[in-house]
Structure 1
Amino acid sequence: MKLSVFTVATPDLTPEELAKAAMDAGIEGIEWRFKEVSPEAADESPSFWRNNRCSIDPGGSEEEWLRFKRAAELYGRKSLAVVPYLTCGDLEATDSVMKAAALLGASFIRIGIPGYDRTSNYNELYAQTVAYLTEVEQMASSYRLKALVETHHQTIAPSASLAYRLVRHFHPDHIGVLYDPGNMVHEGYENYRMGLELLGPYLAHVHVKNGGYHRAIAGGPGKAVWGTSWSPLDEGAVPWAQVIADLQAVGYDGYFGIEDFSGTHASREMLIQFAEKMELWTNLKTV
Structure 2
Amino acid sequence: MKFAVFTASLPEWTPEEAVTELARQGWDGVEWRVVDQKPPTGDAGFWSGNKCTWPLSSFTEDVPRIKSITAAAGLGMPSIGAYARSDEVADVEKLMAGAAELGVKQMRVPVGKPGDEGYNAAFTQRRKEYQVIQELSQQYGVKALIELHHQSLVSSASAAARFVEGFDPAHVGVIHDIGNMLREGFEFDPWSLEILGDHLAHVHVKNAVPKPSPVDGENRTVWNWEWAPMRHGVGNYDQLFSALSAIGYDGWLSVEDFSTEVPLKERVEDNLAYLKEVQARTFTS
Shorter-chain TM-score: which interval? over 0.9
Query: What is the 5 A alignment of 1:212-251?
Result: 212-217=209-214, 224-251=221-248
Give the deviation of 1:135 after TM superposition: 0.7
After superposition, the C-alpha distances for 1:208-248 in whole angstroms (9 at most, x for unaligned) are 10001122345989x75321110010111101111111111
2:11–2:44 Cα contact (<8 Å) kept: yes
Which amino acid in structure 1 is aligned with residue 201 of structure 2? A
Matched AA of 1:52:
N
Residue correspondences, number: 282
Q: Tell me what 2:85 maps to.
A: 87
- Provide the C-alpha distance between the structure 1 equivalents of 2:72 and 2:222, rounded to a whole number of angstroms: 49
Distance 2:137 2:261 in 1: 37
Percent of residue pairs identical: 32
State whether residues 79 and 107 of structure 2, in contact with CA within 8 Å, keep that contact through their aligned partners in structure 1: yes
Moved more, 224-233 or 79-88: 79-88
Question: Which residue is equivalent to 1:282?
Answer: 279
How much has 1:83 moved relative to structure 2?
1.4
1:255 corresponds to:
252
* Residue of structure 1 equivalent to 2:101: 103
- Matched position secondary structure for 2:13: coil
- In structure 1, the residue matched to 2:131 is 134
What letter corresponds to residue 52 of structure 2 in structure 1? C
Aligned-pair CA distance for 1:61: 5.8
Q: Which AA in structure 2 matches 1:74?
A: A
So what's the TM-score if we normalise by structure 2?
0.93
Name the counterpart of 1:22: 22
- Distance in 1 between residues matched to 2:70 and 2:59, nearest whole Å: 18
In the alignment, what sits opposite 1:12?
12
1:210 alignment partner in structure 2:
207
In the aligned structure 2, how far is the partner of 1:61 from the partner of 1:251? Answer: 35
Amino acid of the structure 1 residue aligned with 2:19? A
Are the structure 2 counterparts of residues 67 and 167 from structure 1 closer, same or farther at C-alpha, using a change threshold of 3 Å? same
What is the alpha-carbon root mean square deviation over aligned residues? 1.9
Letter in 1 for 2:44: P
| Counterpart residue type for residue 267 of structure 2 | M
Query: Runs of 5+ in structure 2 lacking a partner?
Result: none
User: Residue 50 of structure 1 is aligned with which of 48, 51, 57?
Assistant: 48
Please say if residues 84 and 110 of structure 1, whose CA atoms lie closer than 8 Å, have aligned partners that are also in contact.
Answer: yes
Give me the whole-angstrom Cα distance separating, in 2, the residues matched to 1:208 and 1:61: 26
Query: Residue 94 of structure 1: SS of its match in structure 2?
Result: helix
| Shift in CA distance, 186/4, structure 1 to aligned 2, threshold 3 Å | same
CA distance in 1, matches of 2:86, 2:231: 34
Indicate the SS of the match to 1:112.
Answer: coil
Q: How does 1:147-226 map to 2 (within 5 A)?
A: 147-217=144-214, 224-226=221-223
* Counterpart amino acid of residue 145 in structure 1: V
Shift of residue 270 of structure 1?
A: 2.3
CA apart distance, 1:84: 1.5
Q: CA 1:121 to 1:38, structure 2 compared with 1: closer, same or farther past 3 Å?
A: closer
In the superposition, the TM-score normalised over structure 1's length comes to 0.92
Alignment gaps of 5+ in structure 1: none
Cα 1:23–1:184 shift into 2, 3 Å: same
